[in-house]
Amino acid sequence: MSNYASSVTLMEVSPRDGLQNEAMLLSTDDKLDLIGRALDAGFRRIEVTSFAHPGRVPQMADAEDVCRGLPQRGDVTYTGLVLNRRGYERLLATERLDEAGLVIPLTDTFAERNQGMSSDECVAMACAVLKDARRRGLRAQATIAVAFGCPFEGEVSLPRLLDIAESLAAEGPVEIALADTVGVGVPGQVLEYFAALRQRLGPDMPLRAHFHDTRNTGIANAFAALQAGVATLDASLGGIGGCPFAPTASGNIASEDLVYMLDRMHVEHGVDLETLLDGARWLQQVLGKPLPSMVLKSGGFPASAGRPGPSA
């Protein structure tokens, strides 16, 4: 008997978190091609850009151009990341995105490096934006960054994390996420933190998880998040990604690796693995380097005729 849900929503983050740490600056057309390939594979939640200062994150300098080129369709949620009030105002001005994604670092040192504010100031900013978005009828969600460990301050405080989450939840986000920004989390920690978060916030707040595979625990952490009842998992095509403001923060979990695991577990998610692999091969050529995805290297495992998977 499985102790995880039979379905999960997947959020593709390669156009934003995936590309932001890449030295090669992709053209706007290439970014729109990447988004189109994610749509073709079946993703219906896509983080398309970040409204960061272009001097600090040059890869996101064309955020407004990307938004103007997005295919307008009623079956997808396009998200833009905002780090401060100015970023939120830029997102609103595009009139093209469905959702604002807010980042609230758990520690002061990371908050200062990432956003030029203290952690408390980030919480206050996020609460004000969430309140404004709710007034406008705009979806907005909140992600607590370095939720499992900070590259500058080390171990983090679970009580502090829960207090921040409770403050954010009071302003009505559509979901709250925990991000393992530098890939230090382990499955036991994931189970503990999401269980504590669920207990503090109650059963009605949707939860999302964002993992990096820096220390080879990303997929295991995704499985633990499923066991903890997390409704949405982030992943990035080819396993690209990282944080420009955190040392040694390598890529996200690869979308195709996650989809392969979910397929073999018979967890519904709506994404086609072969189309995803085609997209990863294309991205590998565009970036001109091997990507970290394991399934991109090995390929999927075809089921025998008439047998849909290992537990049939």
Average predicted confidence (pLDDT) for the chain: 94
Q: Is 308 domain-assigned?
A: no
pLDDT digits (tens, 9 = 90+) for 190-249: 999 999 999 999 999 999 999 999 999 999 999 999 999 999 999 999 999 977 666 666
Handedness of CA 206, 211, 217, 222 (dihedral sign): positive
Measured between alpha carbons, how far is 157 from 137 in angstroms, rounded to an integer?
Answer: 33
Q: Is 116 domain-assigned?
A: yes
Q: Is 307 domain-assigned?
A: no
Measured between alpha carbons, how far is 67 from 78 in angstroms, rounded to an integer?
Answer: 9
Give the total number of structural domains in the chain.
Answer: 1
Measured between alpha carbons, how far is 267 from 310 in angstroms, rounded to an integer?
Answer: 13
pLDDT digits (tens, 9 = 90+) for 148-163: 999 999 999 999 999 9
Q: Is 305 domain-assigned?
A: no
Segment 127-142 shows an average pLDDT of: 98
The whole domain housing 99 covers: 9-298
pLDDT digits (tens, 9 = 90+) for 5-42: 999 999 999 999 999 989 999 999 999 999 999 999 99
Task: State yes or no: is 243 an active-site residue.
Answer: yes
Q: Is 230 domain-assigned?
A: yes
Q: What percent of the chain has pLDDT over 90?
A: 91
Segment 270-296 shows an average pLDDT of: 97
Q: Is 282 domain-assigned?
A: yes
Which CATH number do you get for residue 109? Answer: 3.20.20.70
- pLDDT in the model for residue 147: 98
Q: Is 69 domain-assigned?
A: yes
Q: Is 88 domain-assigned?
A: yes
Measured between alpha carbons, how far is 179 from 147 in angstroms, rounded to an integer?
Answer: 6
